[in-house]
A and B are shown apart, each in its own frame.
Chain A
Amino acid sequence: MSESGSITRRSAVAAATAAVAAGHFAGAARAADAQTMLVTGSNRGIGLEFVKQYAAKGWTVIATTRSPDKADELKKVAAAHKNVTIEALDVTNFATIDALAAKYKGKPIDLLINNAGITGDFRNPKPQSFGTLDHAEADSFMRTNALGALKVTEAFYENVKLGQGKKILAVTSLAGSFGAKFGGMPGGYWYKISKAALNAAMVNVSMDAIKDGIIVAMLSPGQVRVEKIGNIPIPGLIETPESISGMIKVIENLKPEDAGTIIRYNGERQPL
């Protein structure tokens, strides 16, 4: 559609800086104070580690998962930390998203992390490889990885507006990046295209949100040894706690000019 009219983002950022300053820098000054965060897909992997580390920092953590009943590890963390609340949330079920947003209406959320996502089975690349793609799986990837994050962001937007931190993140992947040299991995089609779609949606939202002083950005966690990877030997694999502590640092240091960008767990900017 539109080909022109591309205003530099700098002017929008400059205008928004004043708005952000009140929340962001005040937030930084009182970093030790307890804040509230919500993370989706927190029953395992990256989401679970975010819960553990933010809970240890004394934050109030709203940890969502599709099936709290089956989230044994998460329940253990919640039992050990009074500041962790588990909530049932399926990011593809909009009624549950709206219901949870209604429950938290008027309550500030400083940080929203859209983490819930699906990758498919690493050991069976066939449904996601060109020539043998299982098209019946495509909708589910798109709805979970791209649309879910967008809907959750929209539903909890007012909560984030009320918060001090004013940050919304989405966990994306190097595999969904155009600029990254990531030619090695064949297959993963549904995963990659859903992450590209997620990135486009979040870049789009970031432009609206910065007007409200909210920074929307994407996190690239690195190749993390999540439970599903197990002992598969992958070069460059990092352990989950390292990735998450890195991303928490990235989140702490987020600036308005980071809106709409992808930042890796080690602080490097990842091309879109």
Chain B
Amino acid sequence: MSDVSDPAVTRRDALAAGGATTVLGFGFWTEAFAADGAGAGGTVLITGASRGIGFEFAKQYAQAGWTVIATARNPATAEPLKALAKAHKNIRIEALDVTDVKAVDALAEKLKGTAIDVLINNAGISGGAQNQKVGTIKYEVFDDVMRTNVMGPIKIAEAFTPHVAASTQKKIVSISSTEGSLTGISGRPDVNSIFYRASKSALNMAMINMAKALKDKGIIVVMLSPGLVQTDFVGDLRLPIMISPEQSVAMTMPIIARVTMADTGKYFRHTGELAAW
């Protein structure tokens, strides 16, 4: 990684240096940076915004002055998101279960005429490591993992294509994982996530095809691996390379801001490098 003009790298180096936090306080600094990295303002729709990475996207895009449509399965119980929406008038919460095809169509209909610059397919589930150990796989979780992580994002992209096509920036972003990299998982049999891995690989396959299908409409489709983020996903796992949702989003927002049609169909790591398929 030698390209220091890469905003993601600059950001990472700044994070590694950590100096800014002592001067400005982490929150203020992040806010200033996020505003910087978000690119031109616009409207963003984020699925799975009740917690983790999705919540952080809602927060940082709102802080950057974007109009945020934050979806969650159960807005009633999404307390942090509700508090965030109270503090930021530019956040609008919508109920959405991404596995409910009719609900996706209904929301697309409700938002008809609203231009969406950036659509972030973030909602996803791990399926639980305890269910995915080869030899004692719990097959009943398969459908849920596939519907949420693969068919959900496909359906949402289909339903919101007119909204994205009507916008200025025209970007569809799917949050993937390096666990979905077929070459990347080689040599690591002990992570019990076979369905999760299969779902992210399937998601990537759908997205590269979608990138081709939407090129004529001027829509840019990219995949992002958020890094190893400390969320509910990883449970009690703590590793030195882990980053917070706040850090992850602050690193990926500049990537979203800078991708162009030349990048459609590409799969980026949070560091800005391309991820392996």
Contact = CB atoms under 8 A, between A and B. Distances in A.
A135 B155 contact: yes
Contacts of B194: 150, 200-201, 204-205
B154 A200 contact: no
Interface stretch (B3-11, B25-33, B80-88, B202-210): B202-210
A118 interface: no
B182 A203 contact: yes
Contacts of A197: 146, 150, 198-199, 201-202
Interface of A: 1-9, 12, 94, 129-131, 133, 135, 138-139, 142-143, 146-147, 150-151, 154, 157, 176, 178-179, 183, 186, 189, 192-201, 203-205, 207-208, 260, 271-272
A192 B151 contact: no
A150 B202 contact: no
Interface of B: 101, 126, 134-135, 137, 139, 142-143, 146-147, 150-151, 154-155, 157-158, 161, 177-180, 182-189, 191, 193-206, 208-210, 212-214, 225, 227-228, 233-234, 239, 241, 277
A130 B209 contact: yes
Contacts of A260: 186
Contacts of B214: 130
Q: What is the interface of chain A mostly: helix, strand, loop, or mixed? A: helix
A186 B139 contact: no
A83 B155 CA distance: 48
A1 B204 contact: no
A133 B153 CA distance: 13
A146 B134 contact: no
27 contacts: A1-B126, A1-B179, A1-B191, A4-B239, A130-B157, A130-B213, A131-B213, A133-B154, A135-B151, A138-B151, A143-B143, A154-B135, A176-B205, A178-B208, A179-B277, A192-B206, A197-B146, A197-B198, A200-B180, A200-B182, A200-B202, A201-B194, A201-B197, A204-B185, A205-B194, A207-B187, A208-B135
Contact of B206 (A143, A193, A203, A204): A193
Contacts of A3: 178, 225, 227-228, 241
Contacts of A9: 186-187
Contacts of A196: 198, 201-202, 204-205
A1 B197 CA distance: 9
Given A5-B188, A135-B151, A272 B277 contact: yes
A205 B187 contact: no
A178 B202 contact: no
B204 to A, nearest CB: 7
B149 to A, nearest CB: 10
| Closest 7 A/B residue pairs (Cβ) | A207-B189, A178-B277, A196-B205, A200-B201, A272-B182, A197-B198, A197-B202
A50 B228 CA distance: 44
A201 B212 contact: no
